[in-house]
């Protein structure tokens, strides 16, 4: 049973059945962390299973928290989120730190190739890094590899 499922079951038990979905639960986890008023917050995959709008909302909240002189240590498997919102990055592979530093120094084709086995490339857009699949960058993705539903 995941942490989300456990928390959701607790909410149901106390009559908060209107709290549904990962977005609401993620916000509650952040609220609980904020209530502790610690100088450091640990967040594991805070945007897992969220739609794009709610992912951005959670990252915006985390940026606001960081501006309040609180440190946030967040685990994310989305290199774009890391490039867009983090000021320091530690990349690990097989339990070993393979690089760390500022996103522009760490999120490189070489570095991502080591963890994602050469499936993506890094491009700049408006001075912001974007990680995209190699087939998209090369224009090689066939229609059968794409979906039309978002």
| 131: phi then psi, degrees, rounded to nearest 5 | -100, 125
* pTM exceeding 0.85: no
How many Cβ atoms sit within 10 Å of the Cβ of residue 45?
A: 14
pLDDT of residue 27: 72
Say if residue 122's pLDDT is above 80. Answer: yes
pLDDT of residue 72: 92
Contact predicate 84/126, CB 8 Å: no
Contact predicate 30/59, CB 8 Å: no
User: Closest Cα to residue 61, out of 88, 89, 33, 80?
Assistant: 33
Using one digit for the tens of pLDDT, what is the confidence trace for 5-19? Answer: 776 676 666 566 665
Q: Answer with the residue of higher pLDDT: 109 or 5.
A: 109
So where are the chain's domains? 1-75
Say if residue 142's pLDDT is above 60. Answer: yes
pLDDT of residue 100: 93
Using one digit for the tens of pLDDT, what is the confidence trace for 13-53? Answer: 656 666 566 667 777 777 777 777 788 988 888 888 788 98
Using one digit for the tens of pLDDT, what is the confidence trace for 60-97? Answer: 988 988 998 889 999 999 999 999 999 999 998 888 99
Instruction: Count Cα atoms within 13 angstroms, Cβ side, for 117.
Output: 0
Dist. CA 49–CA 28, nearest whole Å: 15
pLDDT of residue 28: 75
User: Closest Cα to residue 24, out of 50, 44, 45, 63?
Assistant: 50
């Amino acid at each position: 049973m995941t942490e989300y499922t456990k928390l959701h079951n607790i909410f149901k038990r106390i009559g908060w059945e209107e709290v549904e979905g990962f977005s609401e639960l993620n916000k509650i986890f952040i609220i609980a962390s904020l209530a502790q008023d610690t100088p450091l917050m640990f967040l594991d995959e805070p945007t897992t299973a969220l739609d794009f709008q709610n992912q951005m909302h959670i990252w915006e909240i985390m940026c606001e928290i960081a501006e309040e002189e609180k440190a946030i240590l967040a685990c994310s498997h989305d290199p774009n989120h890391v490039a867009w919102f983090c000021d320091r990055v530690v990349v690990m592979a097989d339990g070993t730190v393979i690089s760390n530093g500022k996103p522009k120094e760490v999120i490189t084709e070489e570095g991502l190739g080591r963890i994602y086995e050469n499936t993506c490339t890094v491009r700049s857009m408006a001075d912001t890094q974007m990680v995209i699949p190699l087939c998209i960058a090369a224009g090689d993705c066939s229609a059968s590899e794409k979906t039309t539903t978002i």
